[in-house]
Amino acid sequence: MASDGGGYPVEVAGLDHWFGQGEARKQALFDVDLRLAAGTLTVLAGPSGSGKTTVLTLIGALRAIQKGNIRLLGRELAGASADALVLRRREIGFIFQAHNLHDSLTAEQNVRLGLEVHGAAAASRGQAAARHMLDLLDLSSRAGYLPANLSGGQKQRVAIARALVGNPPVVLADEPTAALDRESGLNVVQLLKRLGTARGTTTLMVTHDPRILDLADRIVRMEDGRIVAEGRL
């Protein structure tokens, strides 16, 4: 699972993707190449419908690759079986636009779900790890709260804790701040950046928020299914 030394944890090459069948078949991605350096925060920007989410779901092993290649942590995703894709997802921390917390579980239990996917050994230290993660996100006083009793920003921070508690080498986030006000949105991304730097996590984040762009190590712009520009701050 180690991200081989100075290599790229994520390497996308010649990626095409289509949606729909027959007449309605429509190409969403055209020859996308992208390499993410270890420990960096890359922001994927671009207009609506440009293919950002599609790239994210393909890297995240949530969709089968149709054409092209993605090497995730040195191993090819193209051609993998559905069961294999499920296992590969455990190497990734996902942060969604909606927090998608489980409403029946407390903050701490939700975070533990992010760890227990790694098996019984991980589960046995679940409580301590979840507490530690909530602590890092300034949520220790909310550990026992159900999502219904948390504010939007707190919920998104719990979702981040759930994504990071398993110490994933790669984190994928799609507009993680869209549901938050500007203040807490900025907070959340600063946290993500701080934890990512401390842990050497490679992060790919889709966002429209201009202030978040300032925090990125690198910005990739997409338009109409193609990568059109690259910038390093």
Partner 1 sequence: MTGWLERLLGRLPLGWLQLVHRPPRFAAALAGVAFANILVFMQLGFLGALIESIALPYRALEADILIAASDTNTLADSSPLPRQRMYEALAVPGVAAATPLFFAKLDWKQPDGTIRTLDVFGIDPARDSLAILRGNPAADALKRADHGLVDRRTRNPPPGLFAAIEAGEPYSFEAKNRTIHVAGTVEIGGGFAADGYLVVSDQTFLRLFPQRAAGAPNYILVRTEPGVPPARVVAALAAALPADDATPRTLADTVARDQRFQTTQRPVGMVFGFGIVIGALVGSIIVYQVLSSDVADHIREYATLKAVGYGDAFFLGVIVEEAAILACFGFVPGLLVALGLYAFVSASVALPLTMTFARAALLFAGTMSMCVLSGFVATRRLARADPAELF
Ligand X SMILES: Nc1ncnc2c1ncn2[C@@H]1O[C@H](COP(=O)(O)OP(=O)(O)OP(=O)(O)O)[C@@H](O)[C@H]1O
> According to the binding rule CB under 6 A, does residue 28 interact with ligand X?
yes
Binding partner of residue 28 among partner 1, ligand X, Mg ion, none, CB cut-off 5 to 8 Å per kind: ligand X
> According to the binding rule CB under 6 A, does residue 66 interact with ligand X?
no
Nearest-angstrom CA–CA distance, 144 and 133: 14
> According to the binding rule CB under 5 A, does residue 53 interact with Mg ion?
yes
Q: Is-contact 204 56, C-beta < 8 A?
A: yes
Cβ atoms within 10 Å, residue 220: 21
Residues in Cβ contact with 12 at an 8 Å cutoff, skipping those fewer than 6 apart: 32, 33, 34, 35, 55, 58, 59, 68, 69, 70
Binding partner of residue 116 among Mg ion, ligand X, partner 1, none, CB cut-off 5 to 8 Å per kind: partner 1
Distances in Å between the Cα of 193 and the Cα atoms of 43, 173, 190, 217 are 11, 12, 5, 10
Question: 5, 120, 128, 210: which one contacts partner 1 (CB under 8 A)?
Answer: 120
Question: 9, 46, 51, 114: which one contacts partner 1 (CB under 8 A)?
Answer: 114
Interface pattern 129-148 for partner 1 (x via CB under 8 A): -----------------x--
Q: Which is nearer to Mg ion, 17 or 142 (CB)?
A: 17
Question: 100, 141, 149, 151: which one contacts partner 1 (CB under 8 A)?
Answer: 100
> According to the binding rule CB under 6 A, does residue 21 interact with ligand X?
no
> According to the binding rule CB under 5 A, does residue 97 interact with Mg ion?
no
Q: Is-contact 202 3, C-beta < 8 A?
A: yes
- Tokens coding 198: 């401390």
Q: Which is nearer to Mg ion, 27 or 53 (CB)?
A: 53
